[in-house]
Structure formats: C-alpha cells, structure tokens
Amino acid sequence: MNTLERAKRELVNTAYAAYQKGLFYETWGNMSCKPTENSIVITPSGIPYAKLRFFDMVVIESSGKTLQGRLKPSTELPLHLAIYEKRKDIRAIVHTHSIYAAAFAVSRKGIPVALEEQAQIVGGVVEVAAYAPPGSPELAANALEALGDNSAVLLANHGLICTGPDLAAALQRCIVIERNARVILCSKLLGQTFTLSPEEVTNLRSDFLFLYGQQGHAE
C-alpha cells in the first residue's frame, strides 16, 4: 500500500471513529491529513459519516486541484488548505460540530481550561474566531488569526477545529475539548467553576510532554 492509500485508509477509519464517538452527525464536520508536501486527503462533501468508504476519500494537490476521487471534496477545503499553508507543523485537521464545543461557539466564548487533560493535550484556552459564513475565504482568514500558534480554534456559530501532527492527535484533541466543554457546562449547575491558571496549564503541559506515557512524549 502506498502513502496515499495508507492516508485514505487512516482517514476513513478516523472519520468512522469520530462518528461512533458522537462527534460527527449526519454529514456535518470534515477531516483531512497531509501525507506528503504536495497532497492532502480530505473527506467528501455531503456523504453521511455512517456510510463513508475508503474510495470516497478525495486526494487534493496543494493548489486545490483534485488528484484522485470521484466525489466533490468537503466545502471547507479552502479552510483546510489555508491552515496547511500557514502552519507547516500541522499534518492533520479534524473539524466537528460537536454539541458542547458548539455551545461555546454559539456563545462566542473561548473554552477555558477546566480539566487537566485539556492543559495536557491541548495546551491552553480554545479561542473563538470572528464569524464568517461556511466555506468563505473570510472564515479561513478569521480561523487562522484566532488559531495563532495553538492547536485548536472555535468557529463562531459553527463548530470546532482541532489540528495535530497526525489524525490520532487531532481527534484526541477534539475528544478532550468536547469533554472539557461539557464538564464546564455541567459544573455551572453546581455553582462556581474553577478553571486552571495559565501557570498551572503551562506546568501540566510540560510535565505531560516530558514525563507521561510509555515513550516519555505525548505525540
């Protein structure tokens, strides 16, 4: 199996895993990875996640031209291309409309770091990009501005973008952020919500990167 075939298989498996975890519903959300410098593999437009298949994945040149695939790519392709163009460290993007992250996106409020795992896996607050319509050049510009050097960003009235060095890392960030957002909203029922300070977040992130896990490294 060559590099592109492997990337298509990994993408369809990750898309199905995200669907099973309840992060994707119907046709909303999309994801991509960048297996080589000149190509990205992205999910197609308008196909329910429950029915996605290996040969539905679309391979795109960095210019935006389709290299392989019989279906149209996700309408958020310009957003994915803009992120890969600006941030050379990013090799995978997962975009969800998951409900608790979307609640913050609708409130146009960043998601603070309440759970330690958001500090460890995401490394900070998830900021909100200014509103722009889906698929528009303004959406890509606004998302890049709010993303900065971070690994995730909210799109106002829309959803969540998580990035990473690979699909597993980007999906894990979406899972952690969704859980963190849900716990914050649940904690409001109990009264006060205590969030972690920037210093506590920095310490948790660096301890996690250097001390946690089998390899001594998270990613």
Closest separation between CB of residue 135 and Zn ion, Å? 9
In angstroms, the CA 11 to CA 15 distance is 6
Residues 152-211 that bind Zn ion (CB under 5 A): 159
Q: Which amino acid is at 193?
A: T
Angle at 42 between CA 136 and CA 217, to 5 degrees: 110
Closest separation between CB of residue 40 and Zn ion, Å? 17
Q: Is 219 an active-site residue?
A: no
Total site size for Zn ion, rule CB under 5 A: 1
In angstroms, the CA 219 to CA 207 distance is 13
As to burial, measured by CB atoms within 10 angstroms (0-12 exposed, 13-18 middle, 19+ buried), residue 198 is exposed
The 127-129 sheet, strands edge to edge: 66-68, 58-61, 39-42, 30-36, 92-96, 159-164, 152-155, 127-129
Is 90 or 204 the residue whose CB approaches Zn ion more closely? 90
Is 56 or 117 the residue whose CB approaches Zn ion more closely? 56
Closest separation between CB of residue 7 and Zn ion, Å? 21
Residue 111, CA atoms < 13 Å, CB-side half-sphere: 36
Is 124 or 159 the residue whose CB approaches Zn ion more closely? 159
Residues 134-163 that bind Zn ion (CB under 5 A): 159
Closest separation between CB of residue 133 and Zn ion, Å? 11
Is 170 or 196 the residue whose CB approaches Zn ion more closely? 170
Residues 84-123 that bind Zn ion (CB under 5 A): none
Residue 54, CA atoms < 13 Å, CB-side half-sphere: 6
Task: Report the residue number whose CB is nearest to Zn ion.
Answer: 159
Catalytic residue selected from 10, 61, 76, 127: 76
- Where do contacts with Zn ion occur on this chain (CB under 5 A)? 159
Give me the active site residues, please: 76
